[in-house]
């Protein structure tokens, strides 16, 4: 595998210097085959718009766009990258790229970052890096944090908590008022991963969390137990809605819109459905996950990406498209409130004037000194993530099973990272 990487790297640098430096200025010709997983209504309009604009810039280019269902793509990508792959595909940053990078299926595009083809992407480069090389470009990301019912907080006289003690004190009052503090739907497991990410990053710090993700720390470590002990405080006071293992994250939103739960730790993608459910911006607000120990705050900000399969036929065109998508103007446009409604990856882009995007951008730029993580299922290797999230869900329902769960996870860790 090593030699494949080396040769492809050499071939790439040669091709890269020749074409990509001024690719945007030259009109491209030939074909460009894109398979995208942006299948939800708003993202679909975005990718279709991107293809239309890119086609207008290069009239001789024949672009073929296939939009695949986002969930289905998670399993289909393997087949798509194998024989006769497209030129551009969607995927996710960090360790989620791992299996495809190791198998040599993603193109190494480190040279594009090095020779200045991707201005403004320096800060997000890390999420695209594995083995010291970059394997794709991001096109959007979003913050995680606690979205809460401002009107309920006002009614109970609560304010945004900054520390975990304040958080717990708030929660006690919310529970006393007959509500649950947090809505969550763990049927598909990953939402529990968000809670673990934050509790662990706040209890033990970002670096420890990443060590755990890399398999360098035992799951039975006392520091991990401390994270779970903090988590248990919320579980024991009845902080979470009942029967959350039966709901998806969307179904659990109802608890928040009905006022039965006061807050929800979730990504910014939850804001549009909350607004559609009739909540006004006066009723919802956002705060950063409170601090627990005295460690620099780490944040979850999952990044969605574009990649070039290593077997692509039109790599030069694909590179030009990646450049186009990440350019400052395009980033501003596609991440606006009327499009994706998320954060642009290019430092020179502007964030849309939206209460939540502005707060999120501010938080990630100034208040995430610990570092920015992707998300439990993107930072941990695939197998560890799936075993792990199942254990986290079990812990949330039966916290007494903790020892058993941790032993199981430790067993999985020893097998997976060997």
Partner 1 sequence: MSFTSTSAPPVERGWYKRNEIAITPWLFLFPAMLFFAVYVIIPIGQSFWISFHQWDGLGEATWVGTDNYERLLTDDRKFTTSFWNNLKWLVLYLLAIPMGLFISLFLNQTVFGIRLYKSLFFFPFVISQVVVGLVFSWFYLPREGLLNAVLALFGAGPVNILGDPTMATYGIIAAGLWPQTAYCMILYLTGLNAVDPEQVEAARLDGARGWKMLWFVILPQLKPATFIAFVVTIIGALRSFDLISVMTNGGPFGSTRVLSFYMFEESLSEFGFRMGYGAAIAVVLFFIMLGFIVYFLWSMYQDEKGGH
Choose which of 19, 296, 408, 410 interacts with partner 1 (CB under 8 A): 408
Which segment (274-282, 299-307, 312-320, 392-400) binds partner 1 by CB under 8 A?
392-400
CA angle 295/301/307 to nearest 5° reads 135
Q: Which residues within the stretch 49-68 sit at the binding site for partner 1 (CB under 8 A)?
A: none
How many Cβ atoms sit within 10 Å of the Cβ of residue 28?
A: 22
Q: Does the footprint of partner 1 cover residue 374 (CB under 8 A)?
A: no
**Residue 262: its H or E element:** strand 261-267
Q: Does the footprint of partner 1 cover residue 35 (CB under 8 A)?
A: no
Choose which of 53, 69, 102, 362 interacts with partner 1 (CB under 8 A): 102
Q: Does the footprint of partner 1 cover residue 383 (CB under 8 A)?
A: yes
Q: Does the footprint of partner 1 cover residue 74 (CB under 8 A)?
A: yes
From its phi and psi, is residue 111 left (phi > 0), alpha (psi between -120 and 50) or beta?
alpha
Q: Does the footprint of partner 1 cover residue 70 (CB under 8 A)?
A: no
Closest approach, Cβ 175 to partner 1, in A, equals: 18
Query: Which residue, 101 or 368, is less far from partner 1 as judged by CB?
Result: 101
Q: Does the footprint of partner 1 cover residue 26 (CB under 8 A)?
A: no
Choose which of 75, 132, 278, 282 interacts with partner 1 (CB under 8 A): 75
Query: Which residue, 335 or 393, is less far from partner 1 as judged by CB?
Result: 393
DSSP state of 302: -
Q: How far is CA 7 from CA 14, 111, 214, 277, in A?
A: 11, 14, 28, 54
Which segment (58-66, 282-290, 324-332, 386-394) binds partner 1 by CB under 8 A?
386-394
Q: Does the footprint of partner 1 cover residue 407 (CB under 8 A)?
A: no
Choose which of 70, 125, 173, 187 interacts with partner 1 (CB under 8 A): 187
Which segment (42-50, 227-235, 280-288, 389-397) binds partner 1 by CB under 8 A?
389-397
* Burial class of residue 246 in the structure, from the number of CB atoms within 10 Å of its CB (0-12 exposed, 13-18 middle, 19+ buried): exposed
What is the rounded distance in angstroms from the CA atom of residue 179 to the CA atom of residue 190? 24
Query: Which residue, 186 or 331, is less far from partner 1 as judged by CB?
Result: 186
What is the rounded distance in angstroms from the CA atom of residue 140 to the CA atom of residue 157? 36
- In 3D space, the residue among 243, 279, 318 whose CA is nearest the CA of residue 64 turns out to be 318
How many Cβ atoms sit within 10 Å of the Cβ of residue 374?
A: 21
**Residue 182: its H or E element:** strand 180-182
Choose which of 28, 35, 46, 105 interacts with partner 1 (CB under 8 A): 105
Site string for partner 1, 198-237 (x = CB under 8 A): ----------------------------------------
Closest approach, Cβ 386 to partner 1, in A, equals: 4
Q: How far is CA 94 from CA 27, 112, 126, 209, 297, in A?
A: 33, 18, 8, 14, 19
Helices (H) and strands (E) in the chain, counts: 18, 13
Residues that bind partner 1 (CB under 8 A): 1, 74-75, 78, 81, 99-100, 102-105, 187-189, 242-243, 245-246, 377, 382-383, 385-386, 390-391, 393-394, 397, 408
């Amino acid at each position: 595998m090593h030699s494949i990487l080396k040769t492809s790297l050499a071939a790439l640098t040669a091709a890269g210097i020749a074409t990509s430096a001024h690719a945007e200025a030259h009109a491209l010709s030939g074909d460009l085959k894109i398979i995208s997983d942006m299948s939800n209504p708003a993202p679909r309009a975005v990718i279709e718009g991107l293809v239309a604009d890119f086609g207008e810039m290069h009239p001789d280019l024949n672009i073929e766009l296939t939009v695949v269902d986002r969930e289905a793509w998670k399993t289909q990508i393997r087949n798509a990258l194998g024989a006769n792959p497209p030129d551009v595909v969607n995927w996710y940053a960090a360790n989620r790229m791992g299996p495809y990078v190791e198998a040599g299926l993603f193109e190494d595009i480190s040279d594009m970052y090095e020779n200045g083809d991707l201005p403004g992407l320096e800060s997000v480069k890390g999420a695209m890096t594995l083995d010291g090389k970059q394997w794709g470009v991001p096109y959007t990301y979003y913050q995680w944090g606690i979205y809460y019912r401002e009107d309920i907080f006002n009614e109970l006289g609560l304010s945004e908590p900054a520390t975990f003690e304040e958080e717990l004190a708030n929660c006690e009052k919310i529970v006393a008022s007959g509500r649950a503090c947090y809505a969550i739907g763990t049927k598909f497991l990953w939402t529990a991963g968000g809670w673990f990410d934050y509790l662990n990053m706040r209890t033990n710090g970002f670096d420890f969390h990443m060590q755990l993700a890399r398999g360098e720390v035992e799951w039975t470590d006392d520091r991990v137990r401390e994270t779970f002990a903090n988590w248990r405080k919320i579980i024991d006071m009845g902080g979470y809605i009942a029967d959350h293992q039966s709901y998806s994250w969307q179904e659990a939103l109802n608890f928040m819109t009905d006022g039965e739960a006061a807050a929800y730790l979730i990504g910014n993608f939850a804001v549009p459905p909350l607004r559609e459910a009739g909540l006004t911006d006066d009723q919802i607000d956002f705060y950063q996950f409170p601090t627990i120990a005295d460690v620099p705050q780490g944040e979850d900000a999952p990044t969605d990406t574009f990649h070039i399969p290593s077997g692509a036929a039109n790599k030069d065109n694909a590179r030009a498209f990646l450049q186009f998508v990440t350019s400052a103007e395009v980033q501003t446009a596609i991440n606006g409130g009327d499009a994706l409604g998320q954060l642009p990856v290019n430092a020179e882009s502007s964030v849309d004037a939206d209460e939540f995007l502005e707060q999120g951008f501010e938080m990630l730029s100034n208040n995430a000194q610990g570092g920015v993580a992707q998300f439990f299922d993107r930072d941990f290797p695939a197998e560890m993530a799936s075993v792990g999230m199942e254990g986290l869900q079990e812990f949330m329902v039966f916290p007494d099973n903790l020892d058993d769960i941790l032993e199981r996870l430790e067993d999985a860790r020893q097998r997976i990272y060997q």
